[in-house]
Amino acid sequence: MAGYLIRRSLQAVPLLFGISLIAFVLLQAIPGGPSAAYRGISNVTAADLQRIERELGLDQPVFVQFVKWLTKFVQGDWGVSFVARRPALDMILERLPNTLLLMGAALSLSVVVSIPLGLLAAVRQYSVVDNLLTFLSFVGLSLPVFWLGLMLIVIFTVILRVLPGGGMGPPGVEADLPTRIRYLVLPTLTLSLVSVGFFTRYLRASMIEVLRTDYMRFTRARGIPDRTRYLRHGLRNAAIPYVTVVALHIPDYLIGALVVETIFSWPGTGRLFWESAVRFDYPVLMGILIIGSVVVILSNLLADVLYGVVDPRVRLD
Amino acid sequence: MALGGLIVLILILAGSILGPILSPYDPVTPVMSERLQQPTLAHPMGTDELGRDSLTRVLAGGRISLAIGALATLVALTIGILVGAVAGYAGRWVDNLLMRLVDVALSLPDLFLLIFASALLGPSFMTMVIIISLVRWMNVARLVRASFLALREREFIESARAIGASPLRIAGLHLLPNSLSPVIVAGTLGVASAILAESTLSFLGLGIQPPASSWGSMLRNAQAQIFTSPWMAIFPGLMIFLTVIAINFVGDGLRDAFDPAGIQRYRGSRASVKAALFADRPPLHGGPTSMAESVAVAGPRLRSRD
């Protein structure tokens, strides 16, 4: 297991190298180069621009810049934000817990909702409930996240006035736990939609396969009550591929979080990324892009590892 | 379901194309006397903050959104087929190199990359087509490569080789047509995901720029007015939703038509289920369609008819 983890992590290194190279090359493709943020500001003269480019090392060959940037990046020096004039890494780390909170809440909600629904649909295959759930899953798969967010704001904030439509708490006040939870509700609901339909369909399909196996037929022959059969014998086996699929979908929550954070003014990394993109703040952009890629790679690894954990028959080596 | 989807899709397409003929209003000229009106008979979807008729703008936006969706998917399919075909036919180090490239491309969270690229290159119609296609080709490349690998050793390819057909002829005339059905399904669903990508970018202000309209950018305007004119947020989003769900139904129908055996292929050993799950790793992006796509290529089908 440890050997497997080490080998998989080592495999991620060239992947990350390729990703940072792509991001870096893309930066060079900006019309005006990475210092474009300073161009067009009225009190920045051509001499200032040259000085800035020299300070940032932008007058050196691209390859040299890349090596220098990468060396610093690995050492934790992610550059200074052009806009906030603070280390990019600090800015990102400040916001990261908020994003993780939102992702964690939404992912948990999706799982908690999809397990009973998926089970119900599988056990009552082709019933009215199953067909309804099929239709709802299709609806869920096709709803744009940002539109759902806006509709929830319209319903719960504008019309019913029961839930706040943005932020993490009332501005300027240290909020207590119930207030914080109230602010978390709408963003979590919106974000959980990202995969709940898919999770439900997946668990249903997986459970239907399990229900058709000989050992499930045998549990019935033994006279075990249905409830126990479904939960103890059925779900446990159906959950094996389900867990993997959930892990594989973690990046979708990161991406969805970006959209949700911009709608609900949630101060997370996604919103920071968007703000930085609008302002050409590229040290921050690069940092978050790489963190995002690490999340993708880690969730792939997690999916593989979890597969081995929940199913002892699978050996990872 | 698939037929219903097709009808809805044709209606939306026809409405968008015929928009200028159907609507008496201009989609971009402000009419300040008619700002922020609620839906009425004269303006079935109301008017926006500059007094422009929302229905007219929805139809105009539909032209842009659908065009970007279709064009980006075409470009993505072309790149994907080329890369997949070269990798699957050439094999060895070429295959290895191209597939590592696919791995790298799949490891970038695509909405982040889209925002990054759109902000850097400057948002425009062509930028959108190019960057969306650049984050959507990997899936097709893997599908084409996989079926090329599977077909390469079959007898009919061997016989084509034996009678001296050139590699280009074998790849283009024998391998490719036999690899197309999963590509067509992925392509259909790809249009939905491209439309979602476009509207997400436009919603974030990094896509279609004013005064031109797209469903996403209309929702962006609507968000600014959400406390005074909440109805503005309803219709553009409804159009995105209807278009995407219609395409998903059509794609689902196509999959059934092409591949009645469905999940049977992936059954058998756990290892093969796992291989299928990981080999056809769906593209990641903001829109929920990624899930539909992953169902299409990897997992159990949304509608298992077994």
Q: Give the model confidence (pLDDT) of B35-68 as tens digits.
A: 667 777 677 777 777 777 778 888 888 888 999 9
Q: Taking a C-beta distance cutoff of 8 angstroms, is the pair A150, B233 a contact?
A: yes
Number of C-beta neighbours around residue B165 at 10 A: 15
Taking one residue from A and the other from B, the number of pairs with CB-CB distance under 8 angstroms is 205
Closest chain A CA to residue B221: A150
Structure tokens, B185? 């399904």
3-state SS class at B67: helix
Burial string for B249-258 (b: 16+ CB within 10 Å, else e) reads bbbbbbbbee
Nearest by CB: B120 against A30, A145, A244: A30
Q: Is the pLDDT of residue B76 over 90?
A: yes
Between CA B303 and CA A309 the distance in angstroms is 29
Q: Give residues 70 to 129 of A whose Cβ lies within 8 Å of B.
A: none
**Partners of residue B108 in chain A, C-beta under 8 Å:** 19, 22, 289, 292-293, 296
Select from B112, B241, B287 the Cβ nearest to the Cβ of A273. Answer: B112
Rounded CA-CA distance A103/A257 in Å is 7
Closest CB from B203, B206, B291 relative to A195: B291
CB environment B102-141: b (16+ within 10 A), e (fewer): bbbbbbbbbbbbbbbbbbbbebebebbbebbbbbbbbbbb
pLDDT: which is higher, B264 or A191: A191
Q: Do B299 and A202 count as a contact with CB atoms less than 8 A apart? A: yes
pLDDT at B291: 37
Q: What is d(CA B263, CA B258) in angstroms, rounded to the nearest whole number?
A: 13
- Is residue A217 exposed (0-12), middle (13-18) or buried (19+ Cβ within 10 Å)? exposed
Kindly report which listed range (A41-45, A300-304, B117-121, B258-262) carries the lowest average pLDDT score.
B258-262
> How big is the CA angle at B95 (ends A62 and A248), to the nearest 5 degrees?
80
- Chain B CB within 8 Å of residue A25 CB: no
B256 to chain A, minimum CA–CA distance in Å?
16
| Cα–Cα distance for residue pair B279/B295, rounded to 1 Å | 13
Residue-level pLDDT at A42: 59
Indicate which of B8, B65, B102, B116 best probes the interface with A, i.e. most A CBs within 10 Å of its own CB: B116
Supply the mean pLDDT for chain B: 77
A160 contacts: CB under 8 Å, gap ≥ 6: none
Residue from the list B116, B222, B300 with its beta carbon closest to the beta carbon of A205: B300
The answer to whether residues B261 and B302 touch, using CB atoms and an 8 Å cutoff, is no
Which pair of tokens denotes residue A148? 């759902």
Peptide bond into B300 cis (omega under 30): no
Q: How far is CA B108 from CA B115, B121, B279, in A?
A: 12, 18, 17
B265 or B49, greater pLDDT: B49
Residues 156-215 of A with CB under 8 A from B: 158-159, 165, 193-195, 197-198, 201-202, 205-206, 208-209
Helix (H, G, I), strand (E, B), or coil: what is residue A160?
A: coil
Q: What is the pLDDT of residue B230?
A: 81
A80 - beta bridge partners?
A: A87
A20, A130, A150, A279: best to mutate for the B interface, most B CBs within 10 A: A150
What's the pLDDT at A56? Answer: 67
Confidence of residue B288 (pLDDT cuts 50, 70, 90): very low
Supply A213's token pair.
């196996």
Determine the Cα–Cα distance for residues A32 and B181; give it in Å rounded to an integer: 44
Share of chain B above pLDDT 70, in %: 82
Task: Provide the β-strand partners of residue B53.
Answer: B47
How far is residue B217's CA from residue B233's CA, in Å, rounded to a whole number?
11
CA distances from A297 to A251, B108, B139, B229, B291 (A): 9, 9, 17, 43, 18
Asked whether A172 and A92 are in contact (CB, 8 A), the reply is no
State the Cα–Cα distance between residues B281 and A248, nearest whole angstrom: 9
Closest Cα of chain B to A115: distance in Å? Answer: 16
Percentage helix, strand, coil for chain B under 3-state DSSP, each rounded to 5: 75, 0, 25
Whether residue A296 contacts residue B109, with contact meaning beta carbons closer than 8 Å, is answered with: yes
Mutation target to probe the B interface, by most B beta carbons within 10 A, among A92, A114, A137, A142 is A142
- The region that residue A33 occupies, defined by phi over 0 for left and psi between -120 and 50 for alpha, beta otherwise, is left
Q: Which residues on A lie below 8 Å from B111 (Cβ)?
A: 255, 258-259
User: Which chain A residue shows the shortest CA-CA distance from B230?
Assistant: A154
Nearest-by-CA chain B residue for A141: B288
Residues 6+ apart with CB under 8 A from A207: A118, A119, A122, A123, A234, A235, A238
Q: What is the pLDDT of residues B217-251, one digit of tens each?
A: 888 888 888 888 888 888 888 999 999 999 988 88
Q: Contacts of residue A305 in chain B, CB cutoff 8 Å? A: none
Residues with pLDDT less than 50, chain A: none
Cβ of B112 within 8 Å of Cβ of A278? The answer is no
CA–CA distance, B200 with B217 (Å, rounded to integer): 9
Q: Which amino acid is at A186?
A: L
List B47's β-bridge partners, or say none: B53
Between CA B54 and CA A191 the distance in angstroms is: 28
Contact A208 B304 (CB under 8 A): yes
ipTM tops 0.95 = no
A31-45, A165-179, B109-123, B271-285: least confident range:
B271-285
Cα nearest neighbour of B99 on chain A: A15
Tell me which chain B residues have a C-beta less than 8 angstroms from the C-beta of A208: 304
Alpha helices in B48-175 (DSSP H): 54-90, 92-107, 110-121, 125-134, 138-152, 155-162, 167-169
Percent of chain B exceeding pLDDT 90 equals 13
